[in-house]
Amino acid sequence: MHLPTGGHPAARRLAHFARFFFRSRILGRDVPLIASVKLTYRCNLACSACPFHRRAGEAGSHMDWDTARSSLDRLADMGCPIVVFEGGEPLLWSDHRHAFSELAGYAGKRFACTAATTNGTLGLDVPTDILWVSVDGTRETHNLLRSGSYDTVMENLKTSHHPRLYVHYTLSRQNWMDFPAAVRTISALPAVKGITVQLFYPYQQGEEPLLLGPTERREILGQAIRLKAGGYPILNSVWGLKAMVNNSWTCRARLLANVDPDGKISRGCYVKHRGVVVCSQCGFTPVAEASGAYSFIPGPLMAGLRIFLAR
């Protein structure tokens, strides 16, 4: 399939996704849909739910420019349409004269959609198609979970000019009761285009107390569905939220590619090589949504189009 090199950006992205589905579904090739690229384990926060900042002192914990560019080239050669930069804190990434913005610009020429997930404490106007900012509760709870960063994050959300700025909320035993109030606060910010949610997953590195119990999981996912029905901009599909109640969905882990700061690329579950895989505890809503979209289930398919294609 020929990809147009000019025209409207949304049309070019749609052409990339069409090529992915053609190669994967029609030709039967094993092509990743989404790649998570962990540029660094370094971070300016020490969030209780995150195991990665604890690894910042390890060898191979921070990519150099050549490794980062080579990793992106290999992902593009695989035909992967979406790349998401992660950390640690990806916006802190640099290598000598090369900064994150330059790397994001390089990726923007090779992928249908580029994104990053950030703790929101740094400048948010970076050249990615999408930027997710983590907010994990109202002020007191967020500060407890995320190193006292709430005021800085909210101020940056208020002043950002990023064209597709989303908030990502990781539901845990510590913050699930805050979720409705946090949604109302976030929804009042004009710069924020929507909210995505996932459920906390324990990597078995001391953060297990944050895991939601079955009753809490069912209750908060039901609340998320009701908030979405009430007009709040929750971007997860209803299908995806219901499927996460007891993980009643077919995981297509082969849609994922994972890059660690040492440049190693693996395929499959996000947790593989990063923690203990316990499928019954999975909270990774993006994987459920991608798996549903790949099966052409309308809700996840429309959610994906809205997140990755809409302006």
**For residue 150, which of 137, 131, 161, 168 has the smallest C-alpha distance?**
137
The SS3 of residue 171 is: strand
Weakest mean pLDDT among 52-56, 106-110, 147-151, 226-230: 52-56
Total Cβ atoms within 10 A of residue 289: 28
Q: Is residue 98 part of a domain?
A: yes
Q: Is the pLDDT of residue 7 over 60?
A: no
What range does the domain containing 284 cover? 32-42+51-308
Per-residue pLDDT at 105 exceeds 60:
yes
Region of 269 (left: φ > 0; alpha: ψ -120 to 50; beta: rest) is beta
Asked if residues 258 and 267 have their Cβ atoms less than 8 Å apart, the reply is yes
Q: 257: which strand partners?
A: 35, 267
Amino acid at 190: P
Residues 6+ apart with CB under 8 A from 64: 95
pLDDT band at 8 (very low <50, low <70, confident <90, very high): low
Residue 21 lies in a domain: no
pLDDT tens-digit map of 34-53: 999 999 999 999 998 888 88
The two tokens of residue 238 are 């209803």
In a domain, 219, yes or no: yes
pLDDT exceeds cutoff 50 at 216: yes
**Is position 1 within any domain?**
no
Bridge-partner residues for 131, per DSSP? 116, 165
Q: What is the CATH number of the domain that holds 182?
A: 3.20.20.70
Residue 4 lies in a domain: no
Domain assignment present for residue 18? The answer is no
Average pLDDT over the chain, rounded to whole? Answer: 93
48-76 pLDDT, tens digit per residue, is 888 888 888 888 899 999 999 999 999 99
List pLDDT tens digits, range 292-309: 999 999 999 999 999 998
Tell me the two tokens of residue 68: 């980062």
Query: 100-108 vs 65-78: helix axis angle to the nearest 10?
Result: 20
Structural domain count of the chain: 1
d(C-alpha 56, C-alpha 41), whole Å? 5
Residue 151 inside a domain? The answer is yes
Asked if residue 79 lies in contact with residue 29, where contact means CB atoms within 8 angstroms, the answer is: yes
Contact 60, 181 (CB under 8 A): no
- pTM of the full predicted structure? 0.93
Indicate whether 235 pLDDT > 90.
Answer: yes
> Who has greater pLDDT, 3 or 263?
263
For the chain, report the end-to-end CA distance as a whole number of angstroms.
Answer: 25
Q: What is the pLDDT of residue 297?
A: 97
Res 6: pLDDT: 44
Number of other residues whose CB lies within 10 A of the CB of residue 254: 16
Least confident of 40-54, 163-177, 245-259: 40-54
Please indicate, yes or no, if residue 107 is contained in any of the structural domains.
yes
pLDDT at 140 over 80: yes
Helices and strands: H and E segment counts in the chain: 10, 10
